[in-house]
Amino acid sequence: MEIGQKIKKIRELRNYSQEYMAMHLGISQEAYCRLETGQTKIELNRLKKIAETLEVEPYFLMNFDDSYVFNSCTQSGKIINQYNGISERDYTAILKRIDGLEQEVKSILSKVHKES
């Protein structure tokens, strides 16, 4: 996984927008987007600032692998998530993001159901 993709995954887990990141980095949202998509090379000092904004260590950012966050397997139709060596704070943020996404899905399904 490229560094821009890693940054994007962590940003999404934190529920931060590209605009939020760009504001903290002092750049435009378009310039930030080019960092995530790999169109712009990320210098070390910028990487440190991104890590600071995401509230992680640069080492964690560079070595992030989403398979370390959750290993999922199915067992009798249920998804089982295993906690794999991330900080309690990051784990809590991930669970909060999952809950938020579940609420969004429920809201969308409710609207679709009402319209039909």
pLDDT digits (tens, 9 = 90+) for 30-57: 999 999 999 999 999 999 999 999 988 8
Query: Same structural domain for residues 45 and 7?
Result: yes
Query: Same structural domain for residues 78 and 92?
Result: yes
- Look at the block and give the residue holding tokens 């969004």: 104
Query: Same structural domain for residues 58 and 8?
Result: yes
Query: Is the pLDDT higher at 1 or at 68?
Result: 1
For 11, the domain range is 3-64
pTM above 0.85, yes or no: no
pLDDT at 101 over 70: yes
pLDDT reported for residue 105 = 86
Looking at the 3D structure of the chain, how many domains does it have? 2
Look over the chain and give the mean of its residue pLDDT values, rounded to a whole number.
81
pLDDT at 80 over 60: no
Query: Same structural domain for residues 81 and 41?
Result: no
Query: Same structural domain for residues 78 and 51?
Result: no
Query: Same structural domain for residues 7 and 59?
Result: yes
